Amino acid sequence: MEVKTNTPFATQKIAQDLAKNLKGGEVIALFGDLGAGKTVFVQGLARGLGIKRRIISPSFVFMRTYPIILSHQTLTFYHLDLYKGESMADLASLGLDEIFSPESVVVLEWADRIKKELPKKRINVFFETIDEKTRRISIKRS
């Protein structure tokens, strides 16, 4: 599906709607340039998953985790930001296998940085900046 949004709030609404359909075990890969709206989207996802804490970009650490409840189970929401292109050694030390599990929902900003390591079955979200206020958002499952 493809939509255009004209406000950050509208982008968050798209994410919140997606969050409502998550069951656990999903990997959501975000692609798009600086300022395209990836973190704004993650904020909407988090809200849709019932996370009350404010989502900030993981800048000093490139991963943050939040407990979520989905289908009456406590799972973990992982927010990764790979902008700085962490080395595979860093990522390996995180244990990507552990992160990509049925007990988690994972969202990755700059997912192209580890495209080869991503599970094939995932939700891809592409962001394009049209102008200052307008973003094109395409969601494609693979």
Ligand X SMILES: Nc1ncnc2c1ncn2[C@@H]1O[C@H](COP(=O)(O)OP(=O)(O)OP(=O)(O)O)[C@@H](O)[C@H]1O
**Residues forming the site for Mg ion (CB under 5 A):** 38-39, 57, 109
Interacting residue with ligand X among 15, 26, 27, 37 (CB under 6 A):
37
Nearest to 83 by CA among 119, 54, 59, 117: 59
Instruction: Give the range of 37-45, 60-68, 100-108, 112-120 binding ligand X by CB under 6 A.
Output: 37-45
44 belongs to the binding site for ligand X (CB under 6 A) = no
Nearest to 68 by CA among 94, 104, 113, 43: 104
Instruction: Give the range of 31-39, 44-52, 96-104, 114-122 binding ligand X by CB under 6 A.
Output: 31-39
36 belongs to the binding site for ligand X (CB under 6 A) = yes
Query: In the complex, which residue's CB is closest to Mg ion?
Result: 39
Choose from Mg ion, ligand X, none: what does 58 bind? Cβ within 5-8 Å by kind: none
Nearest 5°: the CA angle 11, 40, 4 is: 25
Residues near 42 by Cβ (< 8 Å), separated by ≥ 6? 15, 30, 55, 79, 107, 109
For strands 27-31 and 104-109, give the pairing.
Answer: parallel
Minimal distance in Å, beta carbon 60 to Mg ion?
14
Spatial contact of 88 and 106, defined as CB atoms under 8 Å apart: no
Residues contributing to the site for ligand X (CB under 6 A): 5-8, 10-11, 32, 34-40, 57, 83, 109, 133, 135
